[in-house]
Amino acid sequence: MIEISHIRKAFGDKTILEDISAQMEAGKCNLIIGTSGSGKTVLTKCIVGLFTPDSGDVLYSGESMLTMNKHEKKLLRQQIGMLFQGSALFDSKTVEENVRFPLDMFSKQTMGEKQKRVDEVLARVNLSGSNKKYPAELSGGMKKRVGIARAIVLNPKYLFCDEPNSGLDPQTSLLIDKLIKDITHEFKTTTIVVTHDMNSVMEIGDHIIYLHNGRKQWEGSNKDIIFSKDTLLNNFIFASEFLQDAKEMRMIEASKNNQL
């Protein structure tokens, strides 16, 4: 579990994050959502240690990241898998070289052991047989799956996904969401997904943190969201008439189910 407590971050005299506290639960998909510029990336960078908050704390399994020494931070980083926006693969490396990269950096495994692990994670993301391909030969969805394989190759406790659906068609987005959800539940990772994708919010949002102007405006699950009366959240999530109708239908469905 990751706990953030009273995080504040400013750049110069511009306050970006104000007093944000939340818990990211293990074995769950924790989503950070909000309009552009609301502070999602800055908050995520504070959580992974790329930015130091001006005040507040970030606790990984109860231990403050801010007071860790260099060695402890290095150990923590090895427990964090990251899926970057746009996948961030090395174009000059093959799929298997990309996926093996964290093992080359951090593990003392033999080449044979690394190969076995690479094959395992490629199979997990349904890319067996693509080992020798180069990123240029892959579709956007395949690149994301390579990115996911690389993010999980060290068996991370924490998995960060930055806008995993950006640039993907709706059908491929669903597959990527399903993969992230399954991996989270299967390996009990504490997964944090930064997203704009409303479908992801409803499909994989076990726990959602909604930021507005650098503050936590709302927190809850995808089930709570349909009944939320928070106007800002409603305007953000159910922006169009179509989505508003979908929300009403879900509310009717949910209340019917409760009556059964």
Contact residue for ligand ATP among 39, 135, 156, 164 (CB under 6 A): 39
CB of 214 to ligand ATP, least distance (A): 7
User: CA-CA distance, 96 to 91, in Å (whole number)?
Assistant: 12
Total residues interacting with ligand ATP, rule: CB under 6 A:
10
Rank residues 41 and 79 by Cβ distance to ligand ATP and give the closer one: 41
Q: Which of 225, 232, 216 is nearest to 250 (CA)?
A: 225
Supply 112's token pair. 């044979």
Give DSSP secondary structure letters for 178-210: HHHHHHHHHHT-EEEEE---HHHHHHH-SEEEE
Build a one-symbol-per-residue string for 78-97: x at contacts with ligand ATP by CB under 6 A, - elsewhere.
--------------------
Query: Does 103 help bind ligand ATP (rule: CB under 6 A)?
Result: no
SS3 letters across 33-63: EECCCCCHHHHHHHHHCCCCCCEEEEEECCE
User: CA-CA distance, 5 to 19, in Å (whole number)?
Assistant: 8
Query: Does 183 help bind ligand ATP (rule: CB under 6 A)?
Result: no
Rank residues 42 and 125 by Cβ distance to ligand ATP and give the closer one: 42
CB of 37 to ligand ATP, least distance (A): 5
CB burial of residue 168 (10 Å; 0-12, 13-18, 19+)? buried
Query: Does 40 help bind ligand ATP (rule: CB under 6 A)?
Result: yes
DSSP-assigned letter for residue 167 = T
CB of 241 closer than 8 Å to CB of 249:
no
CB of 41 to ligand ATP, least distance (A): 3
Query: Does 156 help bind ligand ATP (rule: CB under 6 A)?
Result: no
CB of 200 to ligand ATP, least distance (A): 14
Query: Does 11 help bind ligand ATP (rule: CB under 6 A)?
Result: yes
Rank residues 41 and 131 by Cβ distance to ligand ATP and give the closer one: 41
Contact residue for ligand ATP among 2, 4, 7, 16 (CB under 6 A): 16
User: CA-CA distance, 86 to 144, in Å (whole number)?
Assistant: 8
**Site residues for ligand ATP per CB under 6 A:** 11, 16, 34, 36-42
